[in-house]
Structure 1
Amino acid sequence: MELVKKWLGHPTDIYHLLRFKMGGYRVVMARLDPDSLGAGLRACYRYLNQTSRSFAAVIQALDGELRHAVCIFYLVLRALDTIEDDMTISLDIKIPMLHEFHSYLYQPEWKYMESKEKDRQVLEDFPTISSEFRNLSKVYQDVISDICYKMGIGMAEFLEKKVDSQHEWDKYCHYVAGLVGIGLSHLFSASELEDPVVGQDTELANSMGLFLQKTNIIRDYLEDQLEGREFWPREVWSRYAKKLSDLAKPENIDMAVQCLNELITNALHHVPDVITYLSRLKNQSVFNFCAIPQVMAIATLAACYNNKQVFRGVVKIRKGQAVTLVMDATNIQAVRAIMYQYVEEIYQKIPSTDPSSNKTQQIIASIRAMSLPNGPMASRHHYSPIYLSCAMLLAALSWQYLSTMSKAAEEYIQTGEN
């Protein structure tokens, strides 16, 4: 019954959990008919579903030939990322592999069988992936190969150094996420589902990636510490502690939260670019693909802001909240409303004594202005009080069933997938 009480405190969660289960998921979680694909593509989509908790569904919902191009793009970068992550590969082998990885796309027999990583299947059967890559139109091949080359160079650069300045933080996030945003934008325009300007404006596309990556890095402080990884910029955390690991000590919690708030403020500066980018998209499947991760990110930052739990465990948004965002973020007016809602949530939590409070208030003012360009905020919700009451009653009667169902949704909407 504790779960029922929790849901009754968030009635819109119940409505959207029901709406999601009763067919709404098809908008963003469409499934391909495997019988319509050749053996190679069937294998690629199988690997996509095996290696991606969240992007697999929205990739498969993309329209036309863009779907296959983005699927192959994802798998190629997953293979590259698997090499970077594999600590059993010595640097004298890994660095040349990262530099040359783009060339493996045109080597039909290349594969790597020595990886110990969980996603090693994309390396072991790389010939299937590279074969489907070469089946793509040349315009898609050129984009994927170029991004793969640039990302490999960037990954190799940061293998032997830590992130010191905020400039280097932006540079690292550009290599591992901004380039993905740029590559995807080129693919969107190449497919002609979006206007050329979407692919041409690389600054906005880069911000799309940086906002997601910074959110993941901020949220994953403790997990990265336990794994021996450090991605918070020294320039920031050194003002609050002698070592980054010191922020997790109970006696340093006040300084740790101030450091956290400063980094969240930094990440929020990408939100105006995110709103501008999304406002240019015309194709519904592309909009869903791009908007859902961004609204998940702003909700995650709102949950993390001024929250000591970041240094004690995992901060997650509610399952029902996540499904609500998936169902709501289908047009730019709704996305503006969502951004407004969560920056207001952050604003209400800004401590007057926080060193970054003025900067946080300033960026929130900018986001507010963009979120309300034409007067009153558009409503995100489309349901009647009677329907909502029925949904609440049904949830109270069948809470165990809904709990089981929401786990499936959570597999899709997890923020921060690698």
Structure 2
Amino acid sequence: MSTPIASLDVDLAYQKAILGSVSRTFALTIPLLPPEIEKVVGNTYLLCRIVDTIEDAADLNPETKQILSRLFLDAVLEKSSVQSFVDPCLSALQGYGNQDELDLIAHTPTVLRILHTCSSKDQAAISRCVSIMSEGMSHFHGKQTQAGLKDLQEFEKYCYVVAGVVGELLTTVFSNNSPTFAKSIQGQEILAIAFGQALQMTNILKDSPEDQARGVSWKPANIDQATLLKISYEKLQDSMRYILLIPKEDIGIRRFCFLAFGLAVMTLSKIANCKNFDHKDEVKLSRKTVMAFYAFTKIAVGSDTLMKIFFNTASSSLKNCSRT
């Protein structure tokens, strides 16, 4: 059944507004995409954010998180009603402090109505992404410890299910809407996973003091910070290769990816220079830095050379980590 235009406009207005409330970074990057892709990527982000909210709820035990994740996935895949997820989820999260994320969960029906206006190819890609993320995070709910994940292999797997799969989703959506990109990425799709993982590793390292404070670590146990920064740098190198494969005529896609990438590069560089920090605000980029880079991307994305110069310059401290 098609959604009336007026109703869709109201739903999309909500999607845009709540995106600005739950993510400063993605509220900046997603509108750079062409309108049809912006709708799909914005919608996917909100669905993933609902999964993240369940994950971040410190008061919920792993079993409750797994139940809610399953109810959410069933609602997305239309195996059960949306309300059969919303009601128990809001009930379980009564003590949750982030009102914007609670509002998003209450508006899950809105988010799913938008999903069902996307093309069948895009819907299939979104459903795959949300399924892998939801089931993957359910798997890791029971592995939350203060010591961290078992090893590097488990760390890579975690970064895949929460972000590498998003890189795959973006690649599919971009390819569905850009035949030129679909041709250029062929045979190098693995770079998309590195792009997503690089962004996730940035978040894990940045948020590690707060995670430790609530008795959790998503870093691999017995692996030092320098090694993690070296791995992150390697992922960033692959991410740069990925962005360079995006045709210059797909300027919105290029700028979306380069902006997210550049913010990750600068954040990881601050972490590398900081050595030890007790709060993520110590390595958080200032609004002035973010907006200056935002302006720079408008020029840089038209030049492969400029993008490479930025990466080589901004990642110098990370490069030094990888040599030690």
TM range, normalised to the smaller chain?
Answer: 0.7 to 0.9
| Residues matched between the structures, number | 297
2:181 maps to 195
1:82 maps to 53
CA change 1:306–1:63 in 2 (3 A) is closer
User: Are 2:206 and 1:219 equivalent residues in the alignment?
Assistant: yes
How far, CA to CA, are the matches of 1:97 and 1:134 in structure 2?
22
Deviation at 1:44, TM superposition (A): 1.9
Higher deviation after alignment, 271-280 or 36-45? 36-45
1:148 maps to 130
Deviation at 1:127, TM superposition (A): 1.1
2:323 maps to 361
Equivalent positions of 1:106-117 (< 5 A) are: 106=78, 107=80, 109-110=82-83, 111-112=86-87, 113-114=90-91, 115-116=93-94, 117=96
How far, CA to CA, are the matches of 1:221 and 1:109 in structure 2?
33
1:310 maps to 277
CA change 1:199–1:103 in 2 (3 A) is farther
Q: Alpha-carbon deviations, 1:370-401, whole Å to 9, x = none?
A: xxxxxxxxxxxxxxxxxxxxxxxxxxxxxxxx
Q: Alpha-carbon deviations, 1:219-256, whole Å to 9, x = none?
A: 223222223221221141xxxxxxxxxxxxxxxxxxxx
Equivalent positions of 1:244-323 (< 5 A) are: 259-282=224-247, 283-311=250-278, 314-323=282-291
Q: Alpha-carbon deviations, 1:203-224, whole Å to 9, x = none?
A: 1111001111112222223222
Equivalent positions of 1:23-102 (< 5 A) are: 38-102=9-73
Deviation at 1:266, TM superposition (A): 1.7
Deviation at 1:100, TM superposition (A): 4.7
Higher deviation after alignment, 139-148 or 335-344? 335-344
- Asked if the contact 2:262–2:311 (Cα under 8 Å) also holds between the matched residues in 1, the reply is yes
Q: Alpha-carbon deviations, 1:251-295, whole Å to 9, x = none?
A: xxxxxxxx3222211211112211110011121111111111211
| Over 4 Å off, 4+ runs | none
Name the aligned partner's letter for residue 264 of structure 1.
Answer: L
- Asked if the contact 1:109–1:127 (Cα under 8 Å) also holds between the matched residues in 2, the reply is yes
Unaligned runs of 5+ in 1: 1-34, 237-258, 351-356, 363-418
Residue aligned with 1:136, SS: coil
How far, CA to CA, are the matches of 1:100 and 1:193 in structure 2?
36
Between Structure 1 and Structure 2, whose CA radius of gyration is higher? 1
How far, CA to CA, are the matches of 2:276 and 2:217 in structure 1?
18
CA change 1:191–1:344 in 2 (3 A) is same
CA change 1:264–1:146 in 2 (3 A) is same
- Asked if the contact 2:210–2:279 (Cα under 8 Å) also holds between the matched residues in 1, the reply is no
Deviation at 1:344, TM superposition (A): 2.8
**Percent of residue pairs bearing the same amino acid type:** 24
Equivalent positions of 1:318-337 (< 5 A) are: 318-329=286-297, 330-331=300-301, 332-337=304-309
How far, CA to CA, are the matches of 2:149 and 2:189 in structure 1?
23
CA change 1:36–1:286 in 2 (3 A) is farther
2:172 maps to 186
CA change 1:164–1:322 in 2 (3 A) is same
2:110 maps to 128
How far, CA to CA, are the matches of 2:179 and 2:26 in structure 1?
19
User: Are 2:159 and 1:173 equivalent residues in the alignment?
Assistant: yes
Deviation at 1:74, TM superposition (A): 1.1
How far, CA to CA, are the matches of 2:179 and 2:294 in structure 1?
22
How far, CA to CA, are the matches of 1:269 and 1:83 in structure 2?
30
How far, CA to CA, are the matches of 1:188 and 1:293 in structure 2?
16
TM-score, normalised to structure 1, is 0.65
How far, CA to CA, are the matches of 2:285 and 2:123 in structure 1?
37
How far, CA to CA, are the matches of 2:176 and 2:153 in structure 1?
31
Q: Alpha-carbon deviations, 1:7-57, whole Å to 9, x = none?
A: xxxxxxxxxxxxxxxxxxxxxxxxxxxx99622222222222221212123
- Asked if the contact 1:309–1:315 (Cα under 8 Å) also holds between the matched residues in 2, the reply is no
CA change 1:67–1:172 in 2 (3 A) is same
How far, CA to CA, are the matches of 2:134 and 2:288 in structure 1?
38
CA change 1:56–1:341 in 2 (3 A) is same
CA change 1:321–1:64 in 2 (3 A) is closer
Higher deviation after alignment, 133-142 or 56-65? 56-65
Unaligned runs of 5+ in 2: 1-5
Deviation at 1:321, TM superposition (A): 3.2
1:399 maps to none
CA change 1:343–1:52 in 2 (3 A) is closer
| Greater relative contact order (Cα < 8 A, sep 6+) | 1
How far, CA to CA, are the matches of 2:218 and 2:108 in structure 1?
29
How far, CA to CA, are the matches of 1:346 and 1:272 in structure 2?
11
